[in-house]
Amino acid sequence: MSEQVYKRQKELAKLIERYSGQDGNHTTAVPSLFFTRLSNAVGPSHGVYNPSLCIIVQGMKEVLLAQERFTYSPANYLVASVDLPVTAQVIEASPAVPYLAFKLEFTPNQILEILGNAEIQADSKKTEKRAMFVSPIDSSMLDAVIRLVRLLDSPTDIPVLAPLFKQEILYRVLQGPYGGTLGQMAVEGSYTYRIRDVIEHIMHNYDQSFRIEHLADIASMSVSSLHRHFKEVTAMSPIQFQKQIRLQEARRLLLAESTDAADIAFRVGYESPSQFSREYSRMFGLPPREDIKRLREKNNQRANA
């Protein structure tokens, strides 16, 4: 890491620390901007990464997309260009040097606007790439990030300046080594764009069974082409993708409600409670009842700490 990058990371760490204050995930006055602070490394968490840019300024994190592992730290940044179910784990954090992270969510239309304004050509026929990547960070991106975060000191400037600084940040990603991968998610007709349509359909109808032919029609592809391109973008098949979404939603419901696991299994689309229990155990390490008990005990310990 260069001296310039190191200095800017230190400045950004102070800003995030000031606006976080305590451990947890924090919204900000800037739309789509979030901070995370953690004093200790934590066990794996499951969730869906929305299209977003993630920067760590202290600590280290691992993100597992299917069987593919992405590790990033203050030397680089991570981008998810479509909705992706992942398992994430902070592996480096301490009370003295807490994990501090910046997340900026974005939309395909925002990417498309930058492509048009900057006259960046994105080839719709180019072979698609994985919709998650880690890339080295540089001082020019951090300059733009710091300008965005500093707006929290002057809230009246946010409506006018935040969109401009956000554009600059995303422009830096598009100019980087994986810019083409990000641009593909916004260019109509590209493989990633069409797979994004399929992902949205699965996300909105995760509790419904689907015919692979219907998904292929949504993507305007053959069945074999859909399988190939979907796996290239997401690292999993459509069925595996749906299963992860179902199980994550089931866990959320079980944690939020005092409901029988069999009822939740049916609500998220399973026809067999025993199959649900097997797949839940495989993903989370314990059967539903034991897993939720463990999670609630951990939450109570954190609340009483």
Say if residue 165 is in the same domain as residue 273: no
Say if residue 250 is in the same domain as residue 169: no
Cβ(33)–Cβ(104) below 8 Å: yes
Q: Is residue 189 part of a domain?
A: no
Those residues whose C-beta lies under 8 Å from the C-beta of residue 176, and which sit 6 or more positions away, are 135
pLDDT number for residue 127: 60
In percent, the amount of the chain with pLDDT more than 90 equals: 82
Q: Is residue 195 part of a domain?
A: no
CA dist 135 and 181 (Å) reads 12
Which CATH number covers residue 66?
2.60.120
pLDDT number for residue 304: 60
Q: Each residue of 189-215: pLDDT tens digit?
A: 889 999 999 999 999 999 999 999 999
CA dist 213 and 224 (Å) reads 10
Say if residue 27 is in the same domain as residue 169: yes
Q: Alpha carbon of 163 to those of 106, 107, 158, 201, 262: distances in Å? A: 11, 12, 8, 29, 46
- Residue identified by tokens 């900057």 is 118
CA atoms within 13 A on the CB side of 275: 8
Q: Phi and psi of 255, rounded to 5°?
A: -75, -35
Q: Is residue 47 part of a domain?
A: yes
Say if residue 41 is in the same domain as residue 175: yes
Q: Mean pLDDT for each consecutive 10-residue tract of the chain (305 residues)?
A: 87 94 94 96 91 97 96 95 96 96 96 85 64 95 97 96 96 92 89 94 96 96 95 96 97 90 96 96 94 85 62
Domain residues for 137?
3-184
Q: Name the E strands within the chain.
A: 24-27, 33-38, 45-49, 52-58, 60-65, 68-72, 76-80, 84-92, 99-105, 132-136
287: three-class secondary structure by DSSP: coil
- Residue identified by tokens 């990000």 is 182
Q: Is residue 244 part of a domain?
A: yes
**What one-character-per-residue DSSP string does 211-280 give?**
-HHHHHHHHTS-HHHHHHHHHHHHSS-HHHHHHHHHHHHHHHHHHHS---HHHHHHHTT-S-HHHHHHHH
Residue type, 30: V
Q: Is residue 219 part of a domain?
A: no
Those residues whose C-beta lies under 8 Å from the C-beta of residue 181, and which sit 6 or more positions away, are 79, 81, 129, 130, 131, 133, 192
Structural domain tally of the chain?
2
- As a whole number of angstroms, the longest Cα–Cα distance in the chain is 57
Say if residue 246 is in the same domain as residue 166: no
Say if residue 170 is in the same domain as residue 251: no
Say if residue 126 is in the same domain as residue 244: no
Say if residue 32 is in the same domain as residue 151: yes
Which CATH number covers residue 281?
1.10.10.60
Say if residue 152 is in the same domain as residue 14: yes
Q: Each residue of 125-163: pLDDT tens digit?
A: 566 589 999 999 999 999 999 999 999 999 999 999 999
